[in-house]
Chain A
Amino acid sequence: MTIEVLVQLGMPEIFGTDNKEDIQEVIDLEKSGKFRSIFGSFVVTPPKTRFESQDEDERIVILGRRHFITNLKWLTLACFAIFVPMFWGEFPMIKALDVNTSFILSIVWYSALLFYVIQSFVLWFYNVYIVTNESLIDVDFFGLLYKNINVTQIAKLEDVNYSQRGLFAGFFHYGDVVAQTSSEQRSDDRSEKSAFTFDHIANPDLTVKIISELMEKENDREHK
């Protein structure tokens, strides 16, 4: 009897075919062709992506990060900062400097600005959450010197919910997703409600829906 026949007989989980392909939402999103860019805030089944503690048969369903609009603060700041050296003549203290020192100060300014932009981008890019067919991973980098990675099994999740607060959140469709585990694990950042709090992420409704479906499947599997 082949594996295909056994799967048709209703035993897919034994043969590892019970995977993300079974989640209708994921199939629909994949078919739509949306959410495929790796620079996006919400990526469905990202290609060529792996994480540290990934099992061989574990597949990434969602890779997400903060909504791009949350970068607006540092992007605006950087845009204004570009023009600051052009108005240095207005500052009496800087006006008193000789030409060489003014030039050096401009180099320092632009170097610091570039450093700030790259650092902000890298932190946004790598502060991700990952939903796989088996687990939930929250990767937080605080500054350049500290990281905090939380991993839990989907089976250990108790409930998951999301909230959208503010005009921007409603307009750009982002929000906070909180996944609660029975262990009440908390991240080092005590301001978070749970270790699995994904702040300002894009499409929180889709994330919650997919995690809920994964939880449901996991419960069904346990009760069988």
Chain B
Amino acid sequence: MIESINNMETILNGQITVSLVVGIMAKILMLLMLFMSLVMIRQTSLMDRVIKLPVGGAIKSLVWGFFALLFVLTVIVVLA
């Protein structure tokens, strides 16, 4: 049993390092945040529908801007 754990590197045909695990987790987190920012866009537009404020458009632009930034960063992180 212990021997099989020690041979994990051989089984997976590669070296599992802390960096690899953290990197994968970071990619998953970025994707999750991208999804959450989409939820935030939806929620902000709903909020704007409930209360129409003069700066509502600017707030929506801010949220969309954040989504765009996060999208670019997610692409960079996932492809890295």
Contacts and interface: CB of A to CB of B under 8 A. Distances in A.
Main secondary structure of the interface of B (DSSP, over half): helix
Contact of B33 (A52, A115, A144): A115
A122 B44 contact: yes
A107 B80 CA distance: 12
A57 to B, nearest CB: 17
Contact of A111 (B63, B73, B80): B73
A186 B39 CA distance: 28
Given A111-B33, A144-B36, A145-B43, A139 B66 contact: no
A84 B43 CA distance: 30
Contacts of B63: 118, 122
Interface residues of B, number: 34
Given A101-B19, A114-B66, A126 B47 contact: yes
Contacts of A141: 43, 47
B80 A100 contact: yes
Interface residues of A, number: 36
B51 A144 contact: no
Contacts of A108: 26, 29-30, 33, 77
Interface of B: 18-19, 22-23, 26-27, 29-30, 33, 36-37, 39-40, 43-44, 46-47, 49-55, 59, 62-63, 66, 69-70, 73, 76-77, 80
Interface of A: 38-39, 46-52, 93, 96-98, 100-101, 104-105, 107-108, 111-112, 114-115, 118-119, 122, 125-126, 128, 130, 139, 141, 144-145, 147, 149
